[in-house]
Structure 1
Amino acid sequence: LFFPDHDTDPDGAAFAELRAKHICATCPVRAACLDAAIARRERHGIFGGLTTAERDRLAAALAKRAQRRRAVA
Structure 2
Amino acid sequence: MNRISHYRKKANVSQQALAQKLGWIQPRLANYETKARTPSLADSRLIVNALNQLGILCSLDDVFPPENESK
Structure-2-length-normalised TM-score: 0.30
Q: Which has the higher contact order (CA 8 A, sep 6+)?
A: 2
Structure-1-length-normalised TM-score: 0.30
